[in-house]
Structure 1
Amino acid sequence: MKDLKEYNIAFVGLKEGSHLFEYQIGKKFFEAYNYEEFTDCDIQSTVNFVKKSTLIELDIAINGTVEVPCDITSEVFDQKITGDLHLVIKFGPEFNDENEELLILPHEAYEVNIAQYIYELIVLSVPSKRVHPKVLDGTMESEALKKLNELQINEDTVVKEEKTTNTDPRWDKLKDLLTDK
Structure 2
Amino acid sequence: MKKFKEFDIPFVGLKEAKHQFDYQIENAFFESFDYDEFNKAAIQVSLELDKKSNMLELSFLAKGSVNVDCDLSNEPFDLPVNGKLHLVVKHGEEYNDEDEELLVIPHGEYQINVAQYVYEMIVLSVPVKRVHPGIKDGTLSSEIVERLEELKPKEENENNNKEIDPRWDTLKKLLTDK
TM-score computed with the length of structure 1 as normaliser: 0.88
Residue number in structure 2 paired with 1:156: 157
1:42 paired with 2:47, answer no
How far did residue 158 of structure 1 move?
3.3
Deviation track 1:23-82 (CA, whole Å, cap 9, x = no partner) reads 000011111110011111100000001111111110011001011111111101011010
* Structure 2: distance between partners of 1:117 and 1:110: 18
SS of 1:95's equivalent? Answer: coil
Residue number in structure 1 paired with 2:113: 113
SS of 1:159's equivalent? Answer: helix
More deviation in 142-151 or 4-13? 142-151
Residue number in structure 1 paired with 2:134: 134
Deviation track 1:87-136 (CA, whole Å, cap 9, x = no partner) reads 11100111111111111111100000000111110011001111111111
How far did residue 137 of structure 1 move?
1.1
- CA 1:89 to 1:173, structure 2 compared with 1: closer, same or farther past 3 Å? closer
SS of 1:131's equivalent? Answer: coil
Return 5+ residue gaps in structure 2 as ranges: none
* Structure 2: distance between partners of 1:107 and 1:172: 74
More deviation in 25-34 or 1-10? 1-10
- CA 1:159 to 1:106, structure 2 compared with 1: closer, same or farther past 3 Å? same
* Structure 2: distance between partners of 1:101 and 1:172: 57
Residue correspondence of structure 1 range 25-64 to structure 2 within 5 A: 25-64=25-64
* Structure 2: distance between partners of 1:96 and 1:37: 29
Aligned residue pairs: how many? 175
* Structure 2: distance between partners of 1:173 and 1:77: 51
Superposed structure 1 runs of 4+ greater than 2 Å apart: 154-160, 171-175, 177-181
* Structure 2: distance between partners of 1:146 and 1:174: 42
Residue number in structure 1 paired with 2:8: 8
* Structure 1: distance between partners of 2:135 and 2:168: 47
* Structure 2: distance between partners of 1:14 and 1:97: 23
RMSD: 2.2
* Structure 2: distance between partners of 1:36 and 1:68: 10
Larger radius of gyration: 1
* Structure 1: distance between partners of 2:18 and 2:124: 26
Q: What amino acid maps onto 1:63 in structure 2?
A: K
Residue number in structure 2 paired with 1:67: 67
Residue correspondence of structure 1 range 9-24 to structure 2 within 5 A: 9-24=9-24
How far did residue 16 of structure 1 move?
1.1
TM-score computed with the length of structure 2 as normaliser: 0.90
* Structure 1: distance between partners of 2:168 and 2:72: 44
1:89 paired with 2:89, answer yes
